[in-house]
């Protein structure tokens, strides 16, 4: 307030000087003693001039005071308005301070959220890197397992072939054994027939000898009758005959005893022959039945072996066909899980393997090497980034075959370019995707830019 009053006084003083100058028209009209000829006139004029000046000054001061009062009123009103504005501004500043504090708090929260997001992003990148490493390791393990499976399958195939060869050898050996068994059976039958014939011949010989002895007995009876007839004629002959008869009687008794023995032996022999024939027949029948059973079993076993051999050969054929089909089937689909708008490389690698069968595609180089000769189909799909274009070629051994193009626009639209080619490859031929022109590509975790291929069977 004091500063305002001082400023008002200074302004009033300046205005007074200005008014004084206006009253005298900026010309000094006072006279000097030299100009006036009488001192009274000089004094009167001087006093009048002083009074006039004082009056003018007072009037000017009154005006200035009124002006100052008005200015002070205006200043008071302005000051009140200024204070009101200052209060409003202070309230506005307070509100702004509150908003600034809230914004600072929100900024702090956003910073914390940003730090948390950065930490999560780093964690996700670490997890993604771990997943990529795990996928690469799993792909390597899959290749190793597939190789081991192929080796085991080949080993099983070789073992199956060896087992089949052994079974074939055993079947051949069994056939030879059966033939030998048949030959031995026939030889044993012939030997039994020979023995039976010899036994029958021996029995017939014994019967013939007994018949000869019976004829001798009959002749002895006839001779005894003849001696009885001669007994009347000659005594000496009679005595001799008696002695002879006695001797013959003794011999006849012995002969009868021998005949009885022979008869008993013959009966026993006939009984033994009957039993032997029966036993031989039974044994022969049992042997023949046994041989028939064994032969039937052998034929059944041979049929089983033949059926098993046929089944094994069929299984071997199927296994060989399965192994051939498995080893002859090659297919893959690979993609990129992260875009790169500044990529200007030569060979585009697709490290994320979605499907792979066979050992043709290498995700670390992005190159497919043909494991076997045949007809293959390859497909590429690429998406451009914003305001950029990309041209990709499918290349066979360094020679471009087809091209996929994708051009970006000034608006947020991503264009996609695709192409497909069918190629006949020889073993060892290489196929990959090459950049022909352009910059960058777009892709996501679920791949958008991909490369696929498979063999036609």
Looking up tokens 């005894």 gives 224
Mean pLDDT in residue range 288-301: 67
- Residues 146-157 pLDDT 10s: 777 777 777 767
Over 70: is that where the pLDDT of 56 sits?
A: yes
219 and 296 in contact (C-beta within 8 Å)? no
Q: C-alpha 42: how far from its chain's center?
A: 131
Q: What is each CA distance from 181 to 166, 167, 170, 287, in whole angstroms?
A: 22, 20, 16, 13
Domains of the chain: 152-325 (1.10.287), 330-456 (2.60.120.40)
User: Mind listing the pLDDT tens digit for each residue in 5-52?
Assistant: 666 566 565 555 545 444 444 444 444 444 444 666 777 888 888 888
Per residue in 64-98, pLDDT (tens digit) is 888 888 888 887 888 788 888 888 888 888 888 88
DSSP state of 347: B
In whole angstroms, how far apart are CA 202 and each of 199, 265, 275? Answer: 5, 14, 16
CA 272 → CA 136, 218, 269, 277, 279, distances in Å?
93, 28, 5, 8, 10
The Cα 5–Cα 374 span in angstroms is: 108
Contact call for residues 427 and 371 (beta carbons, < 8 A): yes
Cα-based angle 387, 351, 371 (whole degrees, multiple of 5): 125
Predicted local confidence at residue 298, as pLDDT: 64
Handedness of CA 369, 371, 374, 376 (dihedral sign): negative
90/136: higher pLDDT: 90
- Gyration radius of the chain over CA positions: 72
- Residue 442 DSSP class: B
Flag whether pLDDT at 339 surpasses 60.
yes
The strand ranges marked E within 66-127 are none
């Amino acid at each position: 307030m004091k500063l305002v009053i001082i400023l008002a006084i200074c302004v009033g003083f300046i205005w007074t000087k200005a008014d004084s100058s206006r009253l005298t028209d900026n010309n000094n009209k006072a006279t000097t003693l030299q100009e006036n000829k009488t001192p009274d006139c000089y004094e009167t004029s001087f006093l009048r001039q002083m009074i006039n000046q004082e009056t003018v000054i007072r009037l000017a001061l009154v005006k200035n005071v009124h002006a100052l009062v008005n200015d002070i009123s205006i200043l008071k009103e302005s000051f009140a308005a200024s204070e009101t504005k200052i209060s409003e501004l202070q309230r506005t500043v307070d509100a702004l301070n509150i908003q600034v504090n809230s914004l600072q708090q929100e900024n702090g929260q956003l910073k914390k959220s940003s730090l948390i997001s950065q930490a999560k992003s780093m964690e996700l990148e670490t997890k993604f890197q771990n997943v990529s490493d795990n996928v690469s390791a799993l792909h390597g393990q899959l290749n190793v397992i597939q190789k081991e499976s192929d080796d085991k399958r080949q080993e099983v195939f070789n073992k199956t072939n060896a087992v089949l060869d052994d079974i074939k050898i055993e079947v051949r050996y069994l056939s030879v054994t059966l033939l030998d068994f048949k030959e031995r059976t026939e030889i044993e039958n012939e030997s039994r027939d020979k023995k039976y014939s010899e036994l029958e011949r021996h029995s017939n010989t014994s019967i013939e000898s007994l018949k000869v002895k019976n004829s001798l007995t009959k002749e002895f009876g006839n001779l005894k009758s003849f001696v009885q007839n001669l007994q009347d004629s000659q005594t000496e002959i009679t005595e001799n005959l008696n002695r002879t008869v006695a001797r013959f009687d003794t011999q006849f008794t012995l002969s009868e005893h021998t005949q009885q023995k022979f008869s008993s032996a013959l009966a026993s022999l006939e009984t033994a022959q009957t039993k032997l024939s029966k036993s031989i027949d039974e044994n022969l029948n049992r042997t023949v039945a046994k041989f028939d059973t064994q032969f039937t079993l052998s034929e059944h076993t041979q049929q089983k072996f033949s059926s098993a051999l046929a089944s094994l050969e069929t299984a071997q054929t199927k296994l060989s066909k399965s192994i051939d089909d498995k080893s002859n089937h090659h297919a893959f689909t690979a993609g990129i899980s992260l875009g790169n708008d500044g990529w200007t490389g030569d060979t585009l690698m697709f490290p994320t393997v979605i499907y792979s069968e066979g050992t043709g595609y290498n995700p670390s180089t992005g190159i497919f090497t043909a494991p076997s000769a045949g007809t293959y189909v390859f497909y590429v799909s690429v998406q451009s980034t914003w305001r950029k274009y990309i041209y990709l070629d499918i290349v066979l051994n360094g020679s471009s075959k087809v091209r996929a193009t994708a051009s970006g626009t000034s608006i947020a639209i991503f264009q996609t370019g695709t192409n497909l080619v069918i190629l006949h490859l020889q073993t060892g031929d290489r196929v990959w995707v090459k950049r022909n022109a352009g910059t960058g590509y777009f892709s996501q975790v679920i791949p958008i830019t991909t490369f696929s291929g498979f063999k036609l069977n």
